[in-house]
Chain A
Amino acid sequence: MTRTRWRDHDWRLVHTAPQSPALHMALDEVLTHAVGAGHRPPTLRIWEWAAPAVVIGRFQSLRNEVDAEAARRHGIEVVRRVSGGGAMFIEPGNTITWSICAPLSLIKDMSFQQAYAWMDAWTLEALGELGIKAWYQPLNDITSEGGKIAGAAQAHRGGAVLHHVTMAYDIDAAKMLEVLRIGREKLSDKGTQSAGKRVDPLRSQTGLSRAAIIEHMIATFRRLHGLADDTLRADELAQAETLAREKFSTAAWTADVP
């Protein structure tokens, strides 16, 4: 296997109507395997959320990270994703999230750190065009002069790499701190010095709507790497719905690290 470049691939865009948190987890797994098996071209998938969620990292302890009672009170579904990294607090409209599913050849012989920087480079360019000077902050963050903007996570599955990123658009920090058990030392990382503040680096620094930022990011990816509009195939969706039901919605998976 030799290293491939972005332009060697026929990139596809999937950006569908809002979907449930468990289905998003399942789609990451299904599409990453599909790309690894050569059944689908490399894909950029933009997530739209049908419901609020806490998404914990593959290796995080459920009880250590999430206040289950507070999550229930706010009607927030807790799901575990396939990649490592930290917990995300999602309400529809408060974040911008995407996944890139690519053959491992795109990051061949790279260290983890090089691979994160490589997969985030187009994002930094897109943010720069919006007037935000942002940079990759090892190990897996994107930050700016105004503080942390995004967290990324990678997982290798079935011959492909999954690289997903969540950017804070406009987060209710008070509610986030009710639901996530974030230690005091971690708060500085999250850009939330005091509860009650909004974490809105993208909204406040661009003045743009979430939809306008997403549109701009898609345009940047298209210009740099090439991108054709695509949809989920019926069999991919069916497979993901089964996986959402039989794996990602189950207590056995969500509490795999209790």
Chain B
Amino acid sequence: MHGEYKMPGGKLIVVDLGIENGCLANVQVSGDFFLEPDDALHAIDAALEGHGAGAEEHVLAAAVRARLAPGVMMYGISPEAIAIAVRRAIDQGAHA
């Protein structure tokens, strides 16, 4: 399942994921945004893994925010924008 969200004033955030037993699996966030340090991307993917497919945006955003190490810098991307892209992947995938 695949979702995209262009953050207003930001960059494109792309999410590919599967759903196994009602939970998010193999979540991959990608896009043309900027993150420092670069390994923060793996932390973001890990933070989303295993959430229920019904999880609301604010829950997903909080999960991402909680997993980010202090000092991680985001440019053109935010936990809220990631959460929107995840919801789009789930919801559009469900209708596909």
Instruction: Write the residues of chain A forming the contact surface with B, with a CB cutoff of 8 angstroms.
Output: 57-61, 64, 82-87, 112, 138-140, 153-156, 183, 185-186, 257-258
Contact call B31/A59, Cβ cutoff below 8 A: yes
Q: Are B28 and A112 in contact (CB under 8 A)?
A: no
Contact residue range for chain B? 20 to 34
Given the contacts A138-B9, A139-B10, A139-B11, A59 and B28 also touching, CB distance less than 8 Å:
no
- Chain B residues with Cβ below 8 Å from A185 are 6
B31 to chain A: closest CB distance in Å? 6
Among candidates A59, A112, A153, residue contacting B30 with C-beta atoms closer than 8 Å: A59
Q: Which of B9, B31, B37, B73 contacts A112 (CB 8 A)?
A: B73
Interface of B is mostly: strand
A244 to B38, CA, bound (A): 19
Contact check, A85 vs B16: say whether CB atoms are below 8 A apart: no
Contact A83 B34 (CB under 8 A): yes
Q: CB within 8 A of B16: which of A58, A64, A83, A84?
A: A64
In the complex, the answer to whether B12 meets A186 with C-beta atoms within 8 Å is yes
Nearest opposing residue in chain B for A87, CB measure: B32
State how many angstroms separate the Cβ of A61 from the closest Cβ of chain B. 4
A85, B6: Cβ atoms closer than 8 Å: no
Which residue of B has the minimal Cβ distance to A139?
A: B76
Instruction: Give chain B nearest CB distance to A15 CB in angstroms.
Output: 27
